[in-house]
Amino acid sequence: MSSPLPTFADVQAAARRLDGVTLRTPLLENARVNHRLGGRLLIKPECLQRTGSFKLRGAYNFLSSMSDADRKKGVVGWSSGNHAQGLAEAARLLGVKATIVMPADAPALKVANTRASGAHVVLYDRVKDSREEI
């Protein structure tokens, strides 16, 4: 299954949906790196974002683009950490029920943070179980 690349209008619409939801993380640069590259390199430290990664951006943008009827059905996702936390937080902010399938050996802090955002976490054994069948 493939989808078309987002257009500039899609990016602008996503920015409007995320305004006031995600943090405006800074752009960082290093003069020595720029000199070595012969250009300008800007780095966006999304580790400073709510939930600690950029995953909240995509999850919130997707959920906020869904119809009310689809949001009422809830969402299911699987991840061992960052996407789980981002999806759980986006669902919490939008009042959507979220079930997240995570491997039993996922970092305990990421499981706890996902639960703290209100998601129902289902743990599975990645050796014995198939997450798709759960």
What CATH number has the domain bearing residue 83?
3.40.50.1100
Joined tokens for residue 17: 């949906």
Q: Does residue 131 form part of some domain?
A: no
Confidence band for 3, pLDDT divided at 50, 70 and 90: confident
Print burial letters for 44-59: b (CB count within 10 Å at least 16), e (below 16): eebeebbbbbbbbbeb
Q: Which of 55, 64, 110, 117 is catalytic?
A: 55
Asked if pLDDT for residue 44 goes beyond 80, the answer is: yes
Q: Does residue 130 form part of some domain?
A: no
Q: Does residue 29 form part of some domain?
A: yes
Percent of the chain with pLDDT over 70: 99
Q: Count of domains in the chain?
A: 1
Joined tokens for residue 30: 């290093």
- 72 catalytic? Reply is no
Q: Does residue 133 form part of some domain?
A: no
Quote the domain boundaries for residue 66: 8-124
* C-alpha span between 49 and 55 (Å, rounded): 9
Give the pLDDT of residue 1. Answer: 53
Q: Does residue 37 form part of some domain?
A: yes
Nearest to 116 by CA among 47, 52, 62, 70: 52
- 80 catalytic? Reply is yes
Q: Does residue 103 form part of some domain?
A: yes
Tokens 């995570």, residue located: 102
**What is this structure's pTM?**
0.89
Q: Which of 72, 80, 117, 128 is catalytic?
A: 80
The mean pLDDT of the chain is 96
CB atoms within 10 A of CB 94: 16
